[in-house]
Amino acid sequence: LSYLGEDFSLQFQQQQLEIERFVALHTERLRLEMESRRRRSSRRIAAAVVENVSRRLKAKEEEIEKIGKLNWVLEERVKSLSLENQIWKDLAQTNEATANALRCNLQQLLSQVHETSGAAAGDDDAESCCGSTAGDFNRLCRNCCETESCVLLLPCRHLCLCDACASSTNACPVCQALKTGSIHVNLT
């Protein structure tokens, strides 16, 4: 009986060892499988993160490029507006200088008209009755010599043409300068 008990005890120990080896083997396989799954899952997560970051980076790069183009367009517009502003400023200064020159000429003409009127008032009655034509001749159109001059030519600023002749004349009859513009002057 003791032999049988020893045999049974030995067999029990062997089975116990086999069960422990089987459990250890199964545990190792399970551990390896879990580790493999964890690595695959980590790779999938890392790939998804990389893809997401790449997509966001690409979107940001496109946005930066779009903003860069818009910035360039706006800079070109600012340059254009600055140039246009300078042109308008120069034109305004030119117009102001022309207006000042015209104002000066008009004042001179008005003072001449005033002096002529004052001199005519001082003439005796017989002469004023007949009317002096010398002053009127100076104010006649230099082209047709029929109508009073009322158009100031630019750039020479001679007051020497009537309305009818000013529209058909390209040069000043006094100095022969090319006409670039004209201004109607009302002397009455």
Domain borders along the chain are 2-132, 133-188
Computed over every residue of the chain, the mean pLDDT equals: 85
pLDDT 10s digits, 3-17: 556 777 888 889 999
What is residue 110's predicted lDDT score, i.e. its pLDDT? 78
Q: Which pTM does this prediction carry?
A: 0.38
Mean pLDDT (whole number) for 154-159: 89
What is residue 124's predicted lDDT score, i.e. its pLDDT? 44
What is residue 136's predicted lDDT score, i.e. its pLDDT? 52
pLDDT 10s digits, 85-132: 999 999 999 888 888 888 888 888 877 777 766 655 544 443 443 444
What is the secondary structure of 77-101 as a DSSP string? HHHHHHHHHHHHHHHHHHHHHHHHH
Question: Which residues of 17-68 form beta strands (DSSP E)?
Answer: none
- pLDDT band of residue 84 (cuts 50, 70, 90) is very high
Torsions phi, psi for 139 (to 5 deg): -95, 0
Rounded CA-CA distance 81/110 in Å is 42
Mean pLDDT (whole number) for 145-160: 90
Mean pLDDT (whole number) for 56-61: 97
133-188 fold:
Herpes Virus-1 (3.30.40)
What is residue 98's predicted lDDT score, i.e. its pLDDT? 85
What is residue 128's predicted lDDT score, i.e. its pLDDT? 40
Q: pLDDT at residue 62 above 90?
A: yes
CB 97 within 8 A of CB 89: no
Q: Which of 149, 137, 158, 153 is nearest to 186 (CA)?
A: 149
